[in-house]
């Protein structure tokens, strides 16, 4: 296990890889530790530091398990997911505490992370009795035509740390209900939560090899998973830079590939908005999960007529937010996830200062009292932000909000659309026509009217435009996850007993 530094508490959790139904160490025997971002002295656990050899073993197990799992009737696959959902309900509190310790979410959000996995697992279990295709009339007599969904094969799934149980559920459960087998590589910052979710699915009765887990780092485990010749398809959620790199690797190998890579999400606040509601939405959207959501409201585009009043209320609300350990019921804002993320956010704050934006609130780390040993950053607000500034264009993924001023709706929508990302957008207005125009013209995958940019529901597709995503959307609904995890097969059946030629006009007598 290695030498511990002074003051470090004992390891609480130890996870292993899951390969072919067995929990095993990495072939090398190496591990890495995960620390509580709210308290660097607490080691939450250790996970295997896997390599290409471990990935290969997991992929081979998934390939061997695929024929039998694909042949299992989809309703029977759904029964296993129903059992898993019931187990998640039973273990919700325990898993929520683990999310809080490993990733740093305050407890209400940590429990919400688990609830989202519960909802997704129930939802995808029910798809076992749908998985609907289409039956249409043929243009010829005594012939029918239909399309059906069939599994793709072995899926490599790479998930981020900000929703360490929810996002694995987004990917694993539709992949399984569709009849695919899976190798999951979770983020190195939060592998313990992912392992616990996988353990629940195993307990529910998945056959060996159907779901495999390989913990480790991107270069050593993630890239070998994408490049493995026996992996048919890959779904990735994470940063754009990593996603773009993996997309090239997948394309070179002719693999199905989908990615969701973040956003720079705007809230437009018009002059007729309910100001209290808009401020509440901006605080929740900007500082919930310490700004570490791909749907975080990092840009506020505020009408000049109410700009000063809005900013004053927002600053007051941000200063009242209580930072603290995620497990403290009084905490409203937890830490950012790691030392690297902490430094990245502080670097962006310095960039904002240098660009000439006005630092109106926060702007520094917060290491007071119970926060002394964690990666806490005070909620930060910049005003006088210009649309071309880096802090208005680049995803910071921390508790930093930029306020831009606008004079009218058309200008506000242009500002909202003027980034490389298009995941989520919102508008606060009491004008039905303005809301309709925003709904039509905002170039984002998710649009909210008089609500913040966060709060997607699992029965609707999740994803965005431009650099936000590539390929079919996550989660449920038409155009969602099942379009990612299945391929279409079209079947024509001619029962006329004679040769019929489609589109060929028969000769006249």
Which residues are the active-site residues? 260, 294
Q: What is the rounded CA–CA span in Å between residue 133 and residue 243?
A: 30
At a CB cut-off of 8 Å and minimum separation 6, what does 488 contact?
Answer: 133, 147, 148, 149, 150
Burial of 321 (0-12, 13-18, 19+ CB in 10 A): middle
Q: What is the rounded CA–CA span in Å between residue 80 and residue 172?
A: 13
Token duo for residue 128: 């076992």
At a CB cut-off of 8 Å and minimum separation 6, what does 369 contact?
Answer: none
Q: What is the rounded CA–CA span in Å between residue 363 and residue 350?
A: 8
Q: What is the rounded CA–CA span in Å between residue 150 and residue 210?
A: 16
Longest dimension (CA), the chain: 97
Pairing of β 22-24 and β 17-19:
antiparallel
Q: What is the rounded CA–CA span in Å between residue 238 and residue 187?
A: 9
Cα 477–chain centre separation: 16
Token duo for residue 133: 């295709």
Q: Count of alpha carbons within 13 Å of 214, Cβ hemisphere only?
A: 35
Dihedral class, residue 193 (left if φ above 0, else alpha if ψ from -120 to 50, else beta): alpha
Token duo for residue 415: 């500002």
Token duo for residue 79: 């029964």
Q: What is the rounded CA–CA span in Å between residue 149 and residue 74?
A: 11
Q: In angstroms, what is the C-alpha Rg of the chain?
A: 24
> Can you tell me which residue has the tokens 């309900």?
89
Number of helical (H) and strand (E) elements in the chain, helices listed first: 15, 25
């Amino acid at each position: 296990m290695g030498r511990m530094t002074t003051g470090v508490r004992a390891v609480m959790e130890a996870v292993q890889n899951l390969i072919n139904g067995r929990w095993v160490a990495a072939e090398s025997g190496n591990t890495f530790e995960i620390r509580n971002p709210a308290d660097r002295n607490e080691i939450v656990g250790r996970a295997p530091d896997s390599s290409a050899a471990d990935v290969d073993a997991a992929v081979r197990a998934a390939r061997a398990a695929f024929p039998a799992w694909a042949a299992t009737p989809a309703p029977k696959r759904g029964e296993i997911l129903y059992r898993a959902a019931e187990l998640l309900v039973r273990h919700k509190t325990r898993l929520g505490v683990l999310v809080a310790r490993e990733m740093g979410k305050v407890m209400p959000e940590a429990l919400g992370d688990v609830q989202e996995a519960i909802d997704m697992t129930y939802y995808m279990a029910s798809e076992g009795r749908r998985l609907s295709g289409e039956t249409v009339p043929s243009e010829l007599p005594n012939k029918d035509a239909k399309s059906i969904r069939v599994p793709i094969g072995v899926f490599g799934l790479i998930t981020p740390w900000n929703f360490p149980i929810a996002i694995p559920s987004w990917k694993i459960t539709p992949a399984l209900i569709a009849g695919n087998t899976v190798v999951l590589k979770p983020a190195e910052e939060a592998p313990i939560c992912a392992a616990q979710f996988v353990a629940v699915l195993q307990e529910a009765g998945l056959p060996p090899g159907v779901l495999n887990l390989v913990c480790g780092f991107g270069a050593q485990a993630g890239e070998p998973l994408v490049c493995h010749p026996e992996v048919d398809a890959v779904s990735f959620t994470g940063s754009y830079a990593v996603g773009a790199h993996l997309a090239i690797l997948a394309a070179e190998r002719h693999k199905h590939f989908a990615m969701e890579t973040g956003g720079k999400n705007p809230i437009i606040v018009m002059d007729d908005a309910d100001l209290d509601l808009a401020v509440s939405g901006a605080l929740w959207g900007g500082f919930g999960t310490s700004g570490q959501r791909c749907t975080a409201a990092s840009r506020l585009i505020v009408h000049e007529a109410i700009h000063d009043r809005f900013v004053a209320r927002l600053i007051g609300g941000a200063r009242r937010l209580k930072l603290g350990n995620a497990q403290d019921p009084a905490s409203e804002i937890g830490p950012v996830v790691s030392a690297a993320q902490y430094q990245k956010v502080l670097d962006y704050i310095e960039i904002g200062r240098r660009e000439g934006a006005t630092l109106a609130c926060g702007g520094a780390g917060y290491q007071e009292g119970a926060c002394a040993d964690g990666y806490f950053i005070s909620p930060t607000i910049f005003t006088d932000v210009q649309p071309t500034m880096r802090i208005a264009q680049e995803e910071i993924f921390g508790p930093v909000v930029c306020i831009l001023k606008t004079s009218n709706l058309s200008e506000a929508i242009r500002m909202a659309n003027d980034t490389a990302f298009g995941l989520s957008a919102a508008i606060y207005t009491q004008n039905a026509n303005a809301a309709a125009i925003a709904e039509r013209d905002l170039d984002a995958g998710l649009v909210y009217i008089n609500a913040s940019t966060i709060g997607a529901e699992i029965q609707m597709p999740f994803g965005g435009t431009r650099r936000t995503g590539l390929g079919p959307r996550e989660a449920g609904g038409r155009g969602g996850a099942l379009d990612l995890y299945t391929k279409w097969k079209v079947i024509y059946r001619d029962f006329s007993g004679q040769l019929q030629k489609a589109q060929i006009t028969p000769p006249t007598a």
